Structures are given as structure tokens and as C-alpha cells.
Structure 1
Amino acid sequence: MEPKKNPKADLSRRSMLFFQLGMILMLFIAWQAIEYKTYDRSLETDTLAVSDELEEEIPITQQIEPPPPPPPPPPAPEVIEVVEDEEEVEETIIKSTETNQEEEIVEIEEIEEAVEEEIADVPFAVIENVPVYPGCESASGNNAKKACMSEQVDKFVKKKFNADLAADLGLEGIQRIFVQFKIDKNGNVVDVRARAPHPKLEQEAVRVVSSLPKMIPGKQRGKPVGVLYSLPIRFQVE
């Protein structure tokens, strides 16, 4: 009896070859899944006021009122001394304050001018008139201008900061950078300082914050003063 199938079409002869190819393909897929990494490039910034005071709850205690003081003693009767006409009474002589033409006039050589008191740098949270960021001039009120400036600074830092730098440095997880700078009397950003987990991140934060645009300076008691500003930067690297 002749076989029904062609011997060349028998796949059982190459079953071992197909099995080996399948194993190699599964190992390659598993290796790619283990080595695959993703990076979260979202950048978050928060505004921190240096001089914000913590509200402390003061317990209400009952005040003990001291007893009223005793009434003052009655005044002693005034003794009126009668002076007889024959007794001589010394009179007080009032000297004239008018100057005489013969007296020497003293000349004043120099008059010292009063030096204006210089106001020290004021934190951003307690400044009377906050610095005005370009584009926030139309905001009404000090609080509105303060909120507008904080929002614009956050947008500027998110746009300019290189968040991929942390991944290139081999850092993982949440990275926090604390930046402090001053807006001087002319509205320029100066004295930028940063603290970060890596010196490269500190340099990047100083570079970005130093490039902030010139602002209208803040005022305290109607005079331009330096304003201290703190900016925490936070982002996550996976």
C-alpha cells in the first residue's frame, strides 16, 4: 500500500530546528523587556517663601486681674505763708535774650547733611510692593502681581531647565534643587545660589535662573530695595 503523504512534506523531521528558533526568539524578547527603560520628563516647581512664619496656636488662659490699688490718702492742707510788707522778697530777674551789636557773632563753618537710612534686603513674602515680572503690569493689587510673578518664573524654569541631565548623570528617583536669588534695586537677578544632589544640576539651575528677564524692582516704604526670592525645583527620573 502506498503512503498518502509526500515524504518531503513531513515536518516532524525539522521539529528540533523549529523548537530551537522559538527558544532564541523568546530569549531575545525577554532580554529586550528587561533592558527597556522609560524616563518621566515632567518638571515641577514650587514657590517657597523663606520668611513665612508658622502659625502657632496660643492657648487661651484665664487672666487673673490684680486687686485695685488702695485709694490715695487725702491731700494735706496747703499752708499759705503770709509775708509782711516790711520783709523784703527777692524778685526773679528775667534777662533779655536780645543780642547786642557789640557782641561777637560766631560763624558756622559747615552743616552736616542727614544721611538717608538704607533699607536692607526684604524677603519676597513680606515686601510691600513686589517686583513686577514682564507681562504682569496689568495685574491689580500686590497679591495678584505676586501670584503672576510666581507663575511666570515657574513657566520660565520648566521651559529652560534640562531635565534629561539627571538621567545622563545616572541619577534616579525624585530630584530636589533649592535655588535662592535676589532682585536688586534695578530689577536685575543677582546673587544666584543653588543646592542640588549633583554639581552639574547646581550649575544648570544657576544658568537658568540667571537668565530671567529684567523686572520692575520691588519697593519698601516707597523706595526701591533688593528682594530675596526662593525657588524649589523638583522632578522625577525613572
Structure 2
Amino acid sequence: MEHMPEFPGGQAALLKYIATSIKYPVICVETGITGKVFISFVVNEKGEVVEAKVARSPDANLSAEALRVVNNMPQWTPGRQRDKAVRVAYTIPVNFVLQ
């Protein structure tokens, strides 16, 4: 891969977007459920996030929230290979921690 897809503003902006977009499910707060949800998705040739799915998760409610946030991500700069936009698979961890 010559150029990996990039979230607008880079890696730091991606982490900030996730942190500010997550709404901790109330049921998980009440029951003290925490953990990492791993979401796999593809950044397509247009930079759109498609085919998002849960790779691993401690709880279905956390999965649903992490998927919602990933599916609402703004458009990325697509990955490029030999000057052509290409599909690139990605997996990101979404960390749920109770304060």
C-alpha cells in the first residue's frame, strides 16, 4: 500500500472523533460493563466507510454504540496504490472505560 487511507485531520483527529461521539450505553454504566470493541470496516475508493462489523466485543450494547459511531464517520481520504484509489480494510479498537 503506497498511501494508507487517512481520516480527515489524521490519527489524532480520529481518536478525538471517537472519544467525543461515543455515548456510553446507560445499561452498561449501570451494570459496570467496560472493555474494548474492535470494529472492522473498509474505506472504499471514494473514501466512504463501508461494511462495518464487530470483530470482537465484551457486550452487545457496546457493539451497537461502537458501530453507530464508525458508520457515522466523515469521509476519509482514500488509500492509493499505483496512483489509483483502492479499497482498504481497517480495524480500530473503541475503548469503553467508566470514569
Paired residue secondary structure (1:237): coil
Q: State how far apart, in whole Å, the 1-side matches of 2:72 and 2:95 are.
A: 19
Q: State how far apart, in whole Å, the 1-side matches of 2:97 and 2:7 are.
A: 28
Matched residues, number: 97
User: Quick check: 1:167 aligned with 2:29?
Assistant: yes
* Corresponding residue of 1:180: 40
Paired residue secondary structure (2:23): coil
CA shift for structure 1 position 223: 1.1
Which of the two has higher C-alpha Rg?
1
Alignment of 1:73-84 (within 5 A): none
* Corresponding residue of 2:6: 132
* Corresponding residue of 2:95: 234
Task: Tell me the TM-score normalised to structure 1 length.
Answer: 0.38
Amino acid corresponding to residue 132 of structure 1 in structure 2: E
* Corresponding residue of 1:218: 79
Task: Tell me the TM-score normalised to structure 2 length.
Answer: 0.84
Q: Given the superposition, is the C-alpha separation of residues 217 and 163 from structure 1 closer, same or farther in structure 2, using an over 3 Å criterion?
A: same
More strand by share: 2
CA shift for structure 1 position 132: 3.4
* Corresponding residue of 1:158: 19
CA contact (8 A) 2:24 2:62 kept: no
Q: State how far apart, in whole Å, the 1-side matches of 2:88 and 2:44 are.
A: 6
* Corresponding residue of 1:9: none
Q: Which runs of 5+ in 2 are unaligned?
A: none
CA shift for structure 1 position 164: 5.0
Amino acid corresponding to residue 75 of structure 2 in structure 1: K
CA contact (8 A) 1:186 1:217 kept: yes
Paired residue secondary structure (2:70): helix
* Corresponding residue of 1:205: 66
Q: Which runs of 5+ in 1 are unaligned?
A: 1-126, 137-148
Paired residue secondary structure (2:97): strand
CA contact (8 A) 1:175 1:237 kept: no
* Corresponding residue of 2:52: 192
Q: Which has the higher contact order (CA 8 A, sep 6+)?
A: 2
Paired residue secondary structure (2:67): helix
Amino acid corresponding to residue 44 of structure 2 in structure 1: D
Q: State how far apart, in whole Å, the 1-side matches of 2:23 and 2:16 are.
A: 13
Work out the percentage of aligned pairs sharing the same amino acid: 29
